[in-house]
Amino acid sequence: MLKVTDMNVYYGAIHAIKGISFEVNEGEIVTLIGANGAGKSTTLKTISGLLRSKTGGISFMGQDIKNMPPHKIVELGIAHVPEGRRIFSRMTVEENLEMGAFTCKPQDIPPDIERVFERFPRLKERRRQIAGTLSGGEQQMLAMGRGLMSHPKLMMLDEPSMGLAPLLVYQIFEIIRELNRAGTTILLVEQNAQMALSIADRGYVLETGRIVTAADSAVLLDDSAVQKAYLGG
Amino acid sequence: MTFLYQVINGLQVGSIYALVALGYSMVYGIVNLINFAHGDIIMVGAYCAWLAMMKWGAPPWISILFAIAFCTVLGMTIEKVAYKPLRKSPRISLLITAIGVSLFLENLAQLVFTANPQRFPTIVTLPSIQLGSRQLSATTIMTIVVSVFFMVVLSFLVNKTKMGKAMRAASEDEATAQLMGINVNHTISFTFAIGSALAAVGAILYCSAYTQLSPLMGVMLGLKAFVAAVLGGIGSIPGAMIGGLVIGLAESLTKGYISSQLADGVVFGILIVVLLIKPTGLMGRSMNEKV
């Protein structure tokens, strides 16, 4: 479904992503794990078009998206829920969801908003509230709900567990699993490798801009080097 | 009665400042640029209306539409040609470019129209209203009514329409707005278009009030509107409206009760006080956000 080949990304003189290749198949949950600064978020930003790869290609459902502007990539069915949630804090909960549906037909938006409210009832109670006043967990739910509004085929989630209490982390991961069962392919970036691997089918380990290991989640969970580096073993 | 008269005069000039301040504030909100060429767009708008009425003999309403249309296109063109290539450059390059565009427009206008002021014809020919011992001209009332009308339209546009919401989203977080499928280039163009259209409206109201126009008329008007935008909290739309009215009132009351020579001093004094005490302005938001 998504195929990244030989991605090289630079921030000025800094070579942040050094020729990585990976793919995500339809229906999978794939996770990119790695330490801070390994290049996980950069990879996602390059797929969604906010950053550019100097070489190689990015194809989504057979279409080359490497040089497409971000707003076109959204239309093709990729939703990117960015790190730190990045909700529009001065807009209401409902307006945030409307923004998520920016590429959709206006008549589809109200039923889609109701569908998001069904999944996240807390948001419904706060629909007219300014989003900046929500708690961290609610903001994460809003960010995910906003991502769902565009009916993505592939959802890229960047650190959804960041800064959340353990109980909320479980809840968020349970929702990710449900979304996947409902047919959305997931590309998940996490520092919480244990949690990510527990729901993912496959994982890639990123280290300073390179993929050092790629395997099924079960294998990675057992891998002693991965355990040592990322799983606190 | 004198007090009421001064207040109404203040509202008149204040509502013009507000219209112009909106242009500064909206553009700042979305590209973080103090568009110093904005004042000169007012001047261009004034000359458009003047040309159409005095040289081509067009009726006032056609001339007004022509001025609005011309400024809208000019604002979008300036953004495309001068600012867009610098979008990834340091803000200071953008600021200097804006000053360059401003100087260009001022000198071009002096070349084409000479530096001599021209007389602006009367558009509103309704009789004036007696207010105690003073006359309140129909232009004054019209200015306030027209400004309020445009501010209401703008509020609706920004708060209720898809494009307006996209504008607010992009001004808060450009990258995330793109991830929503918002074409930020269109949104920025749209912002410049709206700001410049409002400047043209402001130009006509200003010229109706002061009955003359000159190539440098935008400098002072632009600066005062900028002060209004800062006072209201730059980037904030309601702030620009309130800031404009407060500056207008301050100016008018100073003229009425202290000295007309001090009026400009008071306006710029307000800028200094705001920058010292509350740099984010009346309605401005602090910069830190919850992560």
Residue A187's SS3 state is strand
Residues in chain A: 233
Query: Chain B partners of A78 at a C-beta cutoff of 8 Å?
Result: none
Residue B119's SS3 state is strand
CATH architecture observed for domain A25-51+66-77+152-232: 3-Layer(aba) Sandwich (3.40)
Which residue does chain A place closest to B183, by CA atoms? A71
H/E element, B174 = helix B174-179
Cβ within 8 Å, pair A99-B175: no
Cα-atom radius of gyration of chain B, to the nearest Å? Answer: 19
Q: Measured between CA atoms, how close is B218 to chain A, in angstroms?
A: 33
Q: Residue with structure tokens 């076109």?
A: A72
Query: Chain A partners of B172 at a C-beta cutoff of 8 Å?
Result: 88-91
CA atoms within 13 A on the CB side of B173: 19
pLDDT on residue B287: 52
Residues 6 or more apart whose Cβ sits within 8 Å of residue A157? A81, A144, A147, A176, A186, A187, A188, A189
Q: Rounded to whole angstroms, how far apart are CA atoms A73 and A67?
A: 10
pLDDT digits (tens, 9 = 90+) for B262-284: 999 999 999 999 999 988 888 87
Q: Rounded to whole angstroms, how far apart are CA atoms A58 and A46?
A: 9
CB-CB contact of A81 with A162 (8 Å)? no
Q: Rounded to whole angstroms, how far apart are CA atoms A9 and A19?
A: 8
Q: Which residues of B touch A (CB under 8 A)?
A: 162, 165-166, 168-169, 172-173, 175-184, 285, 289-291
> What's the whole-number mean pLDDT along residues B178-205?
96
Q: Measured between CA atoms, how close is B168 to chain A, in angstroms?
A: 8
Cβ within 8 Å, pair A132-B168: no
Q: Rounded to whole angstroms, how far apart are CA atoms B284 and A229?
A: 45
The percent of residues above 70 in pLDDT, for chain A, comes to 99
Cβ within 8 Å, pair B180-A50: no
Q: What is the reported pTM?
A: 0.90
> What's the whole-number mean pLDDT along residues B111-122?
93
Q: Rounded to whole angstroms, how far apart are CA atoms B23 and B26?
A: 5
Domain boundaries, chain A: 25-51+66-77+152-232, 85-150
Q: Is pLDDT above 50 for A168?
A: yes
ipTM associated with this complex:
0.92
Minimal Cβ distance to B182: which of A102, A136, A163: A102
pLDDT digits (tens, 9 = 90+) for B45-85: 999 999 999 999 999 999 999 999 999 999 999 999 999 99
DSSP A92: B
Main-chain dihedrals φ then ψ at residue A49, nearest 5 degrees? 95, 0
Give the A:B interface size as CB pairs under 8 Å. 69
Q: What are the CA-CA distances from residue B267 to residues A120, B43, B230 (Å)?
A: 50, 21, 12
